Amino acid sequence: MFNLLYHYITAPKKTLSYHNAINPASATLLALSLVSISYVIHTDASLFILSTLLSFIGLTLLLSITSLAWDFTAQLLHCQAKSLTLFKWLGLSLLPTLLAAPLYLLTPTKHPYGLISLLASLLPITTACLQIITIQTLYETTLKKALAIFFIPFLLVPISLILVVFLLGFVL
């Protein structure tokens, strides 16, 4: 299992192509658990288990919604439905966020504008790149189409909210 996690981080395309037939559910469960713990590592000891459980549930729910949105977009762009497979592999894409807790501890409080802060700001970019590579490999599509699948849901939410507010303005 740790072998799969390591290979996914170091060579995601190759790992996805080679291990596409296996079920990465246990590795995803481990990754989500580790990320949940890293998010709440600074909480009070009495609330640690509850915070970890809530973090795990929140991450799983967010990953589920994101996977469904990206799969829906992929189907609109004439790709085959793979929402469950996408969910299982996207859990592994959150692994770079494990470095956030140690980087947070290393960041000085008075001057947070240094190399460590730069590294911390690269973690979401690394995660997004892993997610785009996962989308591209699972749907067997071009990078351009994978980027469209990745960004269209993020663009549709604000546009739909603006339309709802605009239409409510006419009704009221």
Is pLDDT at 47 greater than 80 in this prediction?
A: yes
Burial annotation 1-11 (CB, 10 A radius, 16+ → b, else e): eeebbebbbee
pLDDT in tens, 1-38: 788 888 888 898 988 888 777 788 899 999 999 999 98
Given this model, what pLDDT does residue 81 score? Answer: 93
SS3 content of the chain, % helix, strand, coil (to 5): 80, 0, 20
Nearest-angstrom CA–CA distance, 56 and 33: 6
Per-residue pLDDT at 108: 66
81: closest CA among 155, 138, 13, 12? 138
List, in order, residues 6 or more apart from 30 with CB less than 8 Å away: 1, 5
Mean pLDDT value of segment 48-58? 93
The residue among 102, 136, 154, 134 whose CA lies nearest residue 12 is: 134
Q: 134 vs 170, which has greater pLDDT?
A: 134
3-state secondary structure (DSSP) of residue 172: coil
Going by C-beta distance under 8 Å and a sequence separation of 6 or more, which residues neighbour residue 123?
96, 97, 99, 100, 103
What are the tokens at 26? 């246990």
Q: What is the dihedral of CA 55, 132, 31, 49, to 10 degrees?
A: -10
Task: Tell me the C-alpha distance between 9 and 96, whole Å.
Answer: 8
Per the model's pLDDT, the better-predicted residue between 116 and 33 turns out to be 33
**In the predicted structure, residue 126 carries a pLDDT above the cut 90:** yes
pLDDT tens string 62-99: 999 999 999 999 999 999 999 999 999 999 999 998 88
